[in-house]
Structure formats: structure tokens, C-alpha cells
Amino acid sequence: MNTEKVKTVRENLQTVQEKIQTACERSGREPDEITIIGVTKYVSNERAKEAIQAGVIHLGENRDNEFLAKYNDIGHDAKWHFIGTLQSRKVRDVVNKVEAIHSVERMSVIRQIESRAESPVDCFVQVNVSGEETKHGLKPEEVIPFIKETEDYPKARIVGLMTMAPHIDDETVIRKVFQDLATLRDEVMQQNFPHAPCKYLSMGMSNDYEIAIEEGATHIRIGSELVGK
């Protein structure tokens, strides 16, 4: 029988913040450059509310039905980020409820955002940097042409890039994925697209966010280490 005490979100948040502080010190950054997104997809509404009370105001969900259930209960107490694959037909259900969409990879979604959004929505272009067949996202060489194509859709404001590193123990491989995304972000910024400032990097999860911060992450998506499983 497992009698281990479940830590509160506040306790977990303190640990995460200490690790962020250390990673920032190693890389010459400031902790206030990092937005913590508490990924609540596997936890109850009550645990999500506990996260908000602890000071985690950015929450992430990756399935529209689960997001809507939490949104209908918690609503505007949180700033919501949709971090999972979003089907075009589901855009209407979430677009006016979220702070940002971290998984844009198809023009059909861009067009739906333009059609359905009441005001501009922050969008991250999802990039499959690692080339894994199991991961969604554009190939790196597709990103700049894709962003150029979004010029006529101002409600889908491209604010950054997002990726997921392989879930492996090889830190060198993980770091290279994050470095490559940061390099690609810099290449996009050099284009000076008026419609796509693209200055943010959404990368890093519970198992690798310290590496991500060292490589420039601005938004980290923390689930199990923050709110539990």
C-alpha cells in the first residue's frame, strides 16, 4: 500500500521555481522571462483550482472536451492555453476562450481562427524538430513559408514556435532539439514579418524544462511535476 503523502501544488510550485531559478542562473537569464503553464489534462477540476490558488494562472489543456469541462467550471480564473492538436472543426469551441494556441500547423486551422475569433489570438507554430513520426508539427524547412502564408489572417497572430523533444535520457539530443528551435525562431525574426513577431519559444515539459530554459524557452508546459498525474 502506497502511503506516500501527495504534495500540494504550492509545494510542487516552489520546487519548480527553484529549478527555474537555477537554470536561469546557469544561462544568464531572469526567472520572470519564463511563463509556467500548468498542464492540467490528467487532473481534476479541484486540482486545477488548487493550482490557480497557488499562483499558477496559466493552465494548459490538450483535448477540447476536457478543456471545455474545466473552462465551464473554472472559467476566467485562469489564462488558458490549448496545447494539443486542434482540429479545424473544433476551433470554434475554444478560440474565444484561450489566451494562446500552441499547436498551429495547418492553414485550415489558421482560416478557422480568422473566421471565428472575436479578437487576435496568440498562436505558436508547432515544429517537429526531432523528425519523429509519432509527433505532430511542420518540418523546420516548412515553417517560414507557412508563416508567410498566414499574412492575410491577422487574427491568428504568430507569436512563437513550439516543439517537443524526444522522451529520452540523452541530454545531448534533447538540447540539440531546443537549440534548433531557437535557431529557427531567430531566422523567422530576421524576416521582420509585421504579422508575425514570433519571439517566444514554447518548449520544455516536466522531464526537460531546465534544459529548455537554458536554451531559451519562454513558455514551459509542466504537468506531472507541478499538478501530479
At 24, which CATH number? Answer: 3.20.20.10
Arithmetic mean of pLDDT over the chain: 95
Q: Is the pTM above the cut of 0.85? A: yes
Instruction: Tell me what pLDDT residue 1 has.
Output: 46
Contact 71, 80 (CB under 8 A): yes
Instruction: Tell me what pLDDT residue 11 has.
Output: 96
4 pLDDT band, cuts 50/70/90, is low
Q: How many CB atoms lie within 10 A of CB 63?
A: 15
Q: Is residue 80 part of a domain?
A: yes
Percent of the chain with pLDDT over 90: 91
Contact 124, 82 (CB under 8 A): no
The pLDDT of residue 136 is above 70: yes
Q: Is residue 1 part of a domain?
A: no
Instruction: Tell me what pLDDT residue 133 has.
Output: 83
CA separation for the pair 228, 42 (Å, rounded) = 8
Task: Give the residue-averaged pLDDT of 80-94.
Answer: 95
3 state SS for the chain: CCCCCCCCHHHHHHHHHHHHHHHHHHHCCCHHHCEEEEECCCCCHHHHHHHHHHCCCEEEECCHHHHHHHHHHHHHHCEEEECCCCCHHHHHHHCCCCCEEEEECCHHHHHHHHHHCCCCEEEEEEECCCCCCCCCCECHHHHHHHHHHHHHCCCEEEEEEECCCCCCCCHHHHHHHHHHHHHHHHHHHHCCCCCCCCCEEECCCCCCHHHHHHCCCCEEEECHHHHCC
The pLDDT of residue 54 is above 80: yes
Q: Is residue 2 part of a domain?
A: no
Q: Is residue 4 part of a domain?
A: no
107 pLDDT band, cuts 50/70/90, is very high
Selected residue with higher pLDDT from 32 and 228: 32
Partners of 104 in beta bridges: 125
Q: Is residue 3 part of a domain?
A: no
Full residue range of the structural domain in which residue 158 is found: 9-227
Q: How many CA atoms lie within 13 A of 30 on its CB side?
A: 2
Task: Give the residue-averaged pLDDT of 136-154.
Answer: 97
CA separation for the pair 165, 18 (Å, rounded) = 22
- In terms of residues, how long is the chain? 229
Work out the widest C-alpha separation in the chain, in whole angstroms: 59
Domain count across the chain: 1
